[in-house]
Structure 1
Amino acid sequence: MGCTSGGIGSFIGNPCELAMVRLSADAQVPAAERRGYKNAIDCIMRIVKEEGVTALWTGATPTVLRAMLLSSSVLGCYSEAKEILVKTAPSIFVSVGSTPTMFAGTTIASFIANVVCCPFDVIKSRIQTMPKPESGQPPRYSGMVDCLLKSTRQEGTMVLYRGFTPAFVKLAPYTIISLMVVDKITIAITGKSGF
């Protein structure tokens, strides 16, 4: 369920994700190389005008795969982490429904999800920010696999984990809050953990 909903949501939201990535990347390149977007709406409108409507889904494959992996790994790891914590340290983690267990479980799940998803994030961002090719020239990357191969050949495999720490710092609080709230509400209503 988490895998499917994550994939559908990210496909629908890809134009906004693309605009966010391009706006961020635009600020980091020399002035002569900037696309000069004013804001997210301007970015989306210019992509449609200059590149066509389908360009709004540039990088959709790694974006969707990343979201599917993120949703499924977070949800799957969360319940497993809670069970393991309760078994290995019952004096600290007294039950799967206790706040310390939930907090530690979501932190572990966030870390594992970030390990799984970071390569897709790097590939997605590289595809979404590649410069427009000169007339008659091929794009820098022909797709996700080409981007993966070129990036790792040129920069080594650790390039796939560039930005790991900021991504974890962004993901962990969101995951901790959302899963703990849902879990606490589920416990209040049903009397047992929802995950």
Structure 2
Amino acid sequence: MASPENTSGKSLIPSFLYSTSRTMNLEQNNHSSDINRNFMIPAPKESKVEMFSPAYYKACAVGGMLSCGLTHMSVTPLDIVKCNMQIDPTKYKSITSGFGILLKEQGIKGFFRGWAPTLVGYSAQGACKMGFYEYFKKYYSDIAGPEYATKYKTLIYLAGSASAEFIADIALCPFEAVKVRVQTQPGFARGLSDGLPKFIKAQGVSGLFSKLKRVPNNISYRLYKGIVPLWGRQIPCKPTFNTMMKFATFENIVEAIYKHAIPTPKNECSNTLQLGVSFAGGYVAGVFCAIVSHPADNLVSFLNNAQGATVGDAVKKLGLMGLCTRGLPLRIFMIGTLTGAQWGIYDAFKVSVGLPTTGGGSTPAPAH
């Protein structure tokens, strides 16, 4: 289904996922038309970035860096209260009291503690997450071929996002460990510049990365306490995992909005409307994402704060119900808003460089 003019091998565009206006106008058989009608995103004519070229992936990485880094930094106060509710539920009993205690004990500065590792860490994660997601989505679609990529598109989204998150969380993990320690242990460090060296001095470089580590007074071994829960939060071994909720759910929601709620084909919608759809789809996906990944998020906060602690210790102290519900309402609001804003910013950046927004196949206008 690729354009017959791309004989040089330079174009990497899989026409069943993305298509230029020239490709859309080519005569195709009925079977191909059905595929394109449901699974095609037209690239803007003014785009100077070749789809799926190195420049395209760089643009996606920059968009991901901006979307994730800025949004996570902006909700630092909410994140601090959430982490403290997870670490010390007897002291931080509710969202309201949590803000009050934080203000009383640490002042206004306390609400922004850990903003630097948050910005740097989630910028690195966002660049890897979005850039590699686009790469793996194309890669797995090419392996599947046009017909199966359309038929099993949710699995393509799932595989692509899971692969990307695996890499992205390695980039995030060191900064996440420092962030949690700074936010939940006043006096540990002011931020990233002094917190990172102090963390390394206390636990070594291996404490920031995935390495086998002996548990004191125990003959067993366990993996680094941060990266495994992070992978568990992002890529659990169950069908309804966080990555599917955040990426595949987003893509399917956006597709459903264009198919059922908006009578105009996507390529005829204004950029403002398309970005509004991106935000709405991201917000709904974020709500599901928060609910599914919350237990592992509690584990990340607990294990990073309690040196030598195990998953069993977390379950014993917080309880199964506590792991699933402690700080959940705040996280639903935070992750829903974050995810909606992230997709909005990400797609806004893509539009600014002449690329199409994410998701929502273009349906040709009916003949008159």
Q: For the superposition of Structure 1 and Structure 2, which TM-score range results when normalised by the shorter chain? A: 0.7 to 0.9
Residue 124 (structure 1) aligned to one of 176, 179, 182? 179
Q: Which runs of 5+ in 1 are unaligned?
A: 28-33, 132-138
Give the Å deviation of 1:193. 9.0
> What residue is the counterpart of 1:73 in the other structure?
128
- Please state whether the residue corresponding to 1:141 is helix, strand or coil: coil
CA distance in 2, matches of 1:46, 1:70: 31
Query: What amino acid is aligned across from residue 194 of structure 1 in structure 2?
Result: T
CA distance in 1, matches of 2:168, 2:104: 36
Residues 100, 37 of structure 1: alpha-carbon distance in 2 compared, 3 angstrom cutoff: closer
Query: What amino acid is aligned across from residue 148 of structure 1 in structure 2?
Result: L
Q: Which has the higher helix share?
A: 1
The list of structure 1 runs, each at least 4 consecutive aligned residues, that deviate by more than 6 angstroms after superposition, is none
Spell out the pairing of 1:37-186 with structure 2 (5 A cutoff): 37-87=92-142, 89-90=143-144, 94-95=148-149, 98-131=153-186, 139-161=187-209, 162-172=225-235, 173-185=241-253
Query: What amino acid is aligned across from residue 81 of structure 2 in structure 1?
Result: A
Give the Å deviation of 1:160. 1.4
Q: Which runs of 5+ in 2 are unaligned?
A: 1-62, 210-224, 236-240, 259-265, 268-355, 360-368
CA distance in 1, matches of 2:185, 2:113: 10
Give the Å deviation of 1:53. 1.2
Contact 1:70/1:116 (<8 A) preserved: yes
> What residue is the counterpart of 1:16 in the other structure?
78
> What residue is the counterpart of 2:46 in the other structure?
none
Query: What amino acid is aligned across from residue 101 of structure 2 in structure 1?
Result: R
CA distance in 1, matches of 2:129, 2:199: 27
Give the Å deviation of 1:107. 0.9
Contact 2:158/2:243 (<8 A) preserved: no
Contact 2:161/2:247 (<8 A) preserved: yes
Give the Å deviation of 1:59. 0.5
**Quick check: 64-73 or 184-193, which moved more?**
184-193
Q: How many residues align?
A: 180
CA distance in 2, matches of 1:182, 1:154: 41
CA distance in 1, matches of 2:154, 2:110: 44
Contact 1:10/1:64 (<8 A) preserved: yes
CA distance in 1, matches of 2:191, 2:79: 18
TM-score by length of 1: 0.76
Query: What amino acid is aligned across from residue 95 of structure 1 in structure 2?
Result: A
Specify the structure having the higher radius of gyration (Cα). 2
Query: What amino acid is aligned across from residue 112 of structure 1 in structure 2?
Result: I
Give the Å deviation of 1:185. 4.8
- Please state whether the residue corresponding to 1:62 is helix, strand or coil: helix
CA distance in 2, matches of 1:39, 1:193: 38
TM-score by length of 2: 0.43
Q: How much identity, in percent, do the aligned residues show? A: 23
CA distance in 1, matches of 2:106, 2:253: 46
- Please state whether the residue corresponding to 2:75 is helix, strand or coil: helix
Give the Å deviation of 1:78. 0.6
Contact 1:82/1:102 (<8 A) preserved: yes
Residues 21, 186 of structure 1: alpha-carbon distance in 2 compared, 3 angstrom cutoff: closer
1:40-64 CA distances to partner (integer Å, 9 max, x unpaired)? 3212111112221121000111112
1:103-141 CA distances to partner (integer Å, 9 max, x unpaired)? 11111011111111111110101111224xxxxxxx332
Give the Å deviation of 1:149. 1.6
Residues 193, 37 of structure 1: alpha-carbon distance in 2 compared, 3 angstrom cutoff: closer
Query: What amino acid is aligned across from residue 251 of structure 2 in structure 1?
Result: D
Contact 1:186/1:193 (<8 A) preserved: no
**Quick check: 15-24 or 173-182, which moved more?**
173-182
CA distance in 1, matches of 2:204, 2:72: 28
CA distance in 1, matches of 2:74, 2:194: 24
1:58-102 CA distances to partner (integer Å, 9 max, x unpaired)? 011111222323333211111111222344x437x9438723222
